[in-house]
Structure 1
Amino acid sequence: MKLELRSAMLPRLSVYILISLPVLLVQGSTADKKKSPATPATPPPRPPAPLGDPSWALGLRLYQALRSDSGSVNTVFSPLLVASVARSSWVEGRRAPLPASSKTSSRPHPPPRLEPMLGSLVSTALESFAKANGTSFHLHASSALFSKQAPPVSQAFVKDSQARFRVQHQPLGKGDSKADLKQLHGWVKAGLGGLEGAPLAAEIQAKAGALILASALRFKGLWEREFSEESTDQRTFLGKKYTKVMMMHRAGLYRHHEDMENMVQVLEVPLWQGKASVVFLLPFHVESLDRLEKLLTLELLSKWLEKTNISSVIISMPKANLTSTLSLQKQLSALGLTDAWDQNAADFSGVSDKSKGKVHLGAVLQWASLELSAHAGKADVDLEEENIEKPKLFYADHPFIIFVRDNTTGALLLMGALDHAEGEALHDEL
């Protein structure tokens, strides 16, 4: 035990040597199969910045609200899917303007309203991700509006929601809460491609007239360049608990930035064909994510991503699977979605002509899964050999924040935090 912990806390130079030698040897053994070494003459174009993007604005606010719970561990969710069900069911499903009480607040610093965050980019981004599915990543995603003994739903609304936001309508049965949960979990399993979704922490008490907005997403990115299985080994992850996990390593050219003042590394790793990318925020030192999370703003994120440059980087990160099951009523209410929960004040006239006083929002639920693996896209394509010189070390053996974004629209598909990597436990620390 003591020997394992000492090895986990080796000085960074020793860790660098341990990682770089096997990785570079693996690369050298395959160099003769590729083209002559060359650094790309011009880097690929940058995706649109997060600043001003509704999916990033919504994602960051939801993330901060979710992480304010001290018990939050390994959070992951899809701002884009939350936006799609909210846009379809609340914004498009309401014919009348927002009540005056939703537009203003007597508080000195009112939270931003949800509606401006749900712009037309949502449907465009959903289409872009659908086109990239099977090439840059494997994605299972479903969104639905469940209604519990509600007035008949407009067929025009159903068709529009499906066409523009990929949101289906499904009525819940007349059974009790257990029957409702059974139906929801069956739908989730299908939406996650056969993966069992984790149960909700609390039961759903859907009254007559309740609408439940549900989304389910399972994501596995396919890297542009593979993390070789030969360079995968067992290391210590210094998270909420110290665990022994499988770590994957690779040396290559990536967009990278070090913010020396805030002590954080920013790394962007492209997925196959460059249609999407994964962004990592890693503190310089072993610590919880509290400090980094307090720094996060859209302005700072945009600044960090703008400052990334193509650099030689040695990456080490754990193979991991982040999963979350979330009920978002409290967080969305803080963003201005308040009247929707009140049966008397809610306006879902676009959903049903007979909704007045009979239809309200009962829950907003999401199941999400994000897998980090070594796999790349098509292996038979001949990529240029990378010229690795004086590489930086991105050693993700402690908690980090992760984003998955579409490189065409800039939309944020997934956001999360890895606080704990599953493995053989050593001892508690953070």
Structure 2
Amino acid sequence: MVSPASTFLTIPGLALLVLGVNPIEGSSALSHASWTLGLRLYRALCSDGAQSTNALFSPVMLAGALGALGIGSRGHTAEQFQELLKTSGPQGGEALALKSMREGNGTAYTLHASTALFSKQAPGLDPVFLKEARGHYGLDHVPLGKDDKQDTDTITLWAAGAMAEAKVAQPSNVLQAQPGALLLASAVKFKGLWHRSFEEGQGDLRTFLGTKYTKIPMMHRAGIYRHYEDMENMLQVLEVDLKGGNMSMLLLLPFHVESLSRLDRLLSEELMAKWLERLTEQSIAISLPNVNLSSALYLQTQLAALGLKDAWDQKMADFSGLDAMKGQEALHLRDVLHWSSMELEEEDEQVEKPKLFYADHSFLLLVRDKASGALLLMGALDLAEGPGLHDEL
């Protein structure tokens, strides 16, 4: 069963999306291929409702990692990688997007992002492939041995180092595999700053109406924001700048308290592009939760459902482009493991008759790089951690 290894979040709910303020010149707002992968993978996660709670992932990081591994695939396996990533070849625009985001690191945000290929008793990986994958995508290679416990510790320590974290969720049951198994791992930590400070009341606990009703701290601010009300689909769309203008947060908030299933079904590239085009500046009084979201996911089931079928089968998988020994134990993909984390911190404007935007129920979230248009993060909040409510009726 593919499931989140862990999920931790202190947020009330909004349906939100984080993206660049402007699209790339001469392109549409959702031009980067990572949007297609992100939306498809998000829907696949949601199809297993119990497993999608508070999921967060990085479409551009996953696209880069899968694109790197796709360099070494051949035959039908290569075709499935290309179809999944919607490219005519194994190398798409993910490498350029990651390069762009790394160049912006340390300006208005901090980004830790790494990918690695762990190989289980497969000593003869082609050095030409490893050099190309590292050069284009930054994909490291970490060989593993025969001791599953030691190998699990190796992967966990790698993820913690990649995210500059003291501790991350430890993978379980992913290394009980035969020789020749490959584990593709990626880890991303994004830490941004709000463009302007919020007012945060001391002890101002408000109700969050998600899969459980809890009490959580909220922060408040009034100002001029880009906003749109979709009356047909019954939701508000709000864009809030992050510091530096490289990123902004787009919040998708249903009119009424409800599960995310209806909004999940609505999501499409066409509809999201329409929402972005119709945003206009308005006076808005907003109430938002503090954000600290992290997740660890196993994605084999979802990626197989999206068409990557042969890669997991020892007999069907064709990774002959990785095999320098030409005949070692059949190389195959055991799992795709993904860690992600997002934090927003604080680093006024007088408005008249503001419209109310009160986010107190489940939401979606995406983060897009302004320069490349790539989708850095996508996720959902169904459950906000906090003290539960007593029945007051």
Shorter-chain TM-score range = 0.7 to 0.9
Residue 239 of structure 1: aligned partner: 210
TM-score (norm 2): 0.86
Gaps of at least 5 residues in structure 1 are 1-43, 104-111, 377-384
1:350 lines up with 2:293 in the alignment: no
Residue 175 of structure 1: aligned partner: 147
- Native 8 Å contact 1:276 1:405 kept in 2: yes
Q: Match for 1:404: what amino acid?
A: V
Instruction: Please state how far the C-alpha of 1:135 moved relative to its aligned partner.
Output: 2.4
Q: Match for 2:117: what amino acid?
A: L
Residue 114 of structure 1: aligned partner: 84
1:424 lines up with 2:387 in the alignment: yes
Shift in alpha-carbon separation, 1:260–1:201, aligned structure 2, 3 A: farther
Residue 88 of structure 1: aligned partner: 68
Structure-2 separation of matches of 1:428 and 1:265: 29
Q: What is the root-mean-square deviation in Å for CA atoms of aligned residues?
A: 2.5
Residue 25 of structure 1: aligned partner: none
Q: Match for 1:174: what amino acid?
A: K
Shift in alpha-carbon separation, 1:184–1:428, aligned structure 2, 3 A: farther
Higher deviation after alignment, 130-139 or 81-90: 130-139
Structure-1 separation of matches of 2:390 and 2:375: 35
TM-score (norm 1): 0.79
Higher deviation after alignment, 353-362 or 228-237: 228-237
Structure-2 separation of matches of 1:336 and 1:156: 27
Residue 98 of structure 1: aligned partner: 76
Instruction: Please state how far the C-alpha of 1:256 moved relative to its aligned partner.
Output: 1.5
Aligned 1:178-193 pairs, distance under 5 A: 178-193=149-164
Q: Match for 1:57: what amino acid?
A: T
Residue 170 of structure 2: aligned partner: 199
Structure 1 counterpart SS, 2:244: helix
Instruction: Please state how far the C-alpha of 1:53 moved relative to its aligned partner.
Output: 2.6
- 1:121-164, Cα deviation, whole Å (9 max, x unpaired): 20111011112222232222211011111142222222222222
Instruction: Please state how far the C-alpha of 1:297 moved relative to its aligned partner.
Output: 0.9
2:333 aligns with one of 357, 361, 368: 361
- Native 8 Å contact 2:246 2:369 kept in 1: yes
Structure 1 counterpart SS, 2:154: helix
Higher deviation after alignment, 118-127 or 276-285: 118-127
Instruction: Please state how far the C-alpha of 1:278 moved relative to its aligned partner.
Output: 2.1
Structure-2 separation of matches of 1:202 and 1:399: 31
Structure-1 separation of matches of 2:201 and 2:130: 50
Instruction: Please state how far the C-alpha of 1:203 moved relative to its aligned partner.
Output: 4.3
Structure with more helix by fraction: 1
Q: Match for 2:76: what amino acid?
A: L
Residue 6 of structure 1: aligned partner: none
- 1:172-214, Cα deviation, whole Å (9 max, x unpaired): 12213x2222211111111121242223464432320111100
Instruction: Please state how far the C-alpha of 1:355 moved relative to its aligned partner.
Output: 5.1
Residue 3 of structure 2: aligned partner: none
Instruction: Please state how far the C-alpha of 1:165 moved relative to its aligned partner.
Output: 1.0
Structure-2 separation of matches of 1:316 and 1:231: 14
Percent of aligned positions that are identical: 51
Gaps of at least 5 residues in structure 2 are 1-20
Larger Rg: 1
- 1:270-316, Cα deviation, whole Å (9 max, x unpaired): 22211122222111111111111111111111111111122222221
Structure-1 separation of matches of 2:266 and 2:94: 27
Instruction: Please state how far the C-alpha of 1:102 moved relative to its aligned partner.
Output: 4.9
Q: Match for 1:58: what amino acid?
A: L
Shift in alpha-carbon separation, 1:304–1:231, aligned structure 2, 3 A: farther
Residue 162 of structure 1: aligned partner: 134
Q: Match for 1:74: what amino acid?
A: N
